[in-house]
Amino acid sequence: MSTVQSIDPATGQIVEKIEPTTPEQVAELCRVASDAAAGLEALGRSGRAVLLRAVSDELEARREEIVELGRRETALPEARLNGELTRTAYQARLFAEVLDDGGYLEAAVDHAGDTPMGPGPDLRRMLVPTGPVAVFGASNFPLAFSVPGGDTVSALAAGCPVVVKAHSSHPALSRLTYEALVAAAGRAGAPAGTVGIVYGTEAGAALVADPAITAVGFTGSLSGGNALMEIIGRREVPIPFFGELASLNPVVVTEGAAAARPAEIAEGLVTSVTGSGGQLCTKPGLVFVPAGDAGDAVVSTAVERVGGAAAAVLLNARISTSYDAIADELSAQPGVRVIAEGGQPGGDGFGVTPRLLEVDAEQLAAVGIGECFGPTTVLVRYRADDESATVRALAGLPPSLTGTVHSGPGETELVRRLTAALRPRAGRLLYDGWPTGVLVSWAQHHGGPWPSTNTQHTSVGTTAIRRWLRPVTWQNAPVDVLPEELRDETRSVPRRIDGRLELPV
């Protein structure tokens, strides 16, 4: 097992070396997490809300140190890291609200009584935590999808101890934020083992294979996800794998949109493609722009903006090398035109050149465009007078997290048809906006058909908690063994009573 070593992407200098976690240490961490499960659940909704608010406070209290270390290990701008910390701290408080609300329990009570099948028993259902879960940190969101972030706080909210696999690109930041979580758990009276951390690829594999782990949350590459799914496939007990993997995020700019606001669309697009070095799972990777004058106006502004864009520093050597390789390969395909290039990188870090590519819709199928993580996108020039060809092209794309339509005045029916074409292949549909920037909220959904995710669950938004819960029904249970939320006198959470939804009093 090799040392986990992080490198400053801007300079190529080593930032930190951390010893990998041994298989024995992983097993012990999982055992401790298992032991913590009952105590974490026993804190109850109010106790875990205290824990989540403590997580928020601890992250805020260490903001300066976290952002500074994050800057060195990721080269992401200070403003971005500050925004990410704000988002994660907010998210922890939002899940505290989810716990206060209690609707996530899906509590239901059917009182005993006659049914068409004879006398029915008293049945009471709610969701309970599945047990310890594994969370894999992502390189591109060192604070929002890593040791702290949506997976961790939603799992803690559910009542599941979390063992995080630290991403090898930012092990020091992982350790620092892990310490913040441990401090918060201590302050909130959560049991030891509520959060754990492992370092190194082998440790991650051992974690997923450990019998104590009941589910896996992962944000990363399709190949990484497939490797974990293979390990799960070899487990005696299969467990759910919630992977957020690859996404192309198609955008359709209609003729009306291109005619109405070409510069605005081009500028929004380039900002969305180059922000955070294009290293966002929702980056628009394929943009249908109409052939002809209106579309040309969009393209010319986009060319100008990408041409003026500075070189981007990517997160690690693998991402930077892979970006150059995929972008080169794409550029070399017959029919693909490189229509703009941004600044050339200098120095010894992981710098790359932003690129804008173009292809005619007729050749799209032959080119076969997949995700290219980094500051590039492909403009697909399509014939606005051949809508069925566009719909066919959309149907031929791999499913994505998002699908976007930019339209102009009087195009309602067209937008409806494009929505129908996009919905089967996306989890979030956007109109006249850009898919990057995923708000953490109650109505958010971040998950599309495979390979973007596993379809039925989200990794962003309050319903992300559902991944770490399972239903249990108590039949004719004495009141003393029932969870508080299922007792008759309780009115603190929304409940379905004999089929009728009732709000808390």
Site for a second copy in 341-380 (CB under 8 A): none
Q: Is 244 a catalytic residue?
A: yes
Strand, coil or helix: what is 446? coil
The stretch among 188-196, 204-212, 238-246, 375-383 that binds a second copy (CB under 8 A) is 238-246
List of residues 6+ apart from 194 with CB closer than 8 A:
33, 36, 40, 51, 156, 161, 162, 185
Q: Decide whether 203 or 430 has the Cβ nearer to a second copy.
A: 430
The answer to whether 440 contacts a second copy (rule: CB under 8 A) is yes
Q: Which of 353, 354, 358, 361 is nearest to 382 (CA)?
A: 361
Question: Residue ranges of the alpha helices (H) in 351-406?
Answer: 361-367, 387-395
Q: How far is the CB of 360 from a second copy (least distance, A)?
A: 27
Site for a second copy in 273-312 (CB under 8 A): none
Question: Whose structure tokens read 């940190």?
Answer: 137
Q: How far is the CB of 150 from a second copy (least distance, A)?
A: 13
Q: How far is the CB of 472 from a second copy (least distance, A)?
A: 6
Catalytic residue among 58, 73, 84, 281: 281
The answer to whether 461 contacts a second copy (rule: CB under 8 A) is yes
The answer to whether 77 contacts a second copy (rule: CB under 8 A) is no
Question: Residue ranges of the alpha helices (H) in 134-290?
Answer: 150-158, 171-187, 201-209, 222-233, 255-260, 262-274
Question: Residue ranges of the alpha helices (H) in 23-112?
Answer: 23-42, 44-61, 63-74, 78-101
Number of residues counted as binding a second copy (CB under 8 A)? 83
Rounded Cα gap, residues 95 and 58, in angstroms = 16
Q: How far is the CB of 214 from a second copy (least distance, A)?
A: 8
Q: Decide whether 271 or 441 has the Cβ nearer to a second copy.
A: 441
> Per-residue string for binding with a second copy, 408-437, x by CB under 8 A?
----x--xx--xx--xx-xxxxxxxx----
Q: Decide whether 71 or 406 has the Cβ nearer to a second copy.
A: 406
Q: How far is the CB of 453 from a second copy (least distance, A)?
A: 10
Catalytic residue among 41, 58, 73, 244: 244
* Interior/surface letters 155-173, b for 16+ CB within 10 angstroms, e for the rest: bbbbbbbbbbbbbbbbbbb
Q: Are 17 and 173 in contact (CB under 8 A)?
A: no
Q: Decide whether 70 or 354 has the Cβ nearer to a second copy.
A: 70
Rounded Cα gap, residues 165 and 171, in angstroms = 10
The stretch among 98-106, 162-170, 266-274, 287-295 that binds a second copy (CB under 8 A) is 98-106
The answer to whether 109 contacts a second copy (rule: CB under 8 A) is yes
Q: Are 123 and 413 in contact (CB under 8 A)?
A: no
Q: Which of 24, 64, 114, 480 binds a second copy (CB under 8 A)?
A: 480
What's at 286, amino acid-wise? L
Q: Which of 329, 471, 488, 491 binds a second copy (CB under 8 A)?
A: 471
Q: Decide whether 16 or 151 has the Cβ nearer to a second copy.
A: 151
The answer to whether 321 contacts a second copy (rule: CB under 8 A) is no
Alpha-carbon torsion angle 91, 95, 98, 104, nearest 10 = 110
- Which token pair is 201? 């690829």
> Per-residue string for binding with a second copy, 78-97, x by CB under 8 A?
-----x--xx--x------x
Catalytic annotation, residues: 244, 281
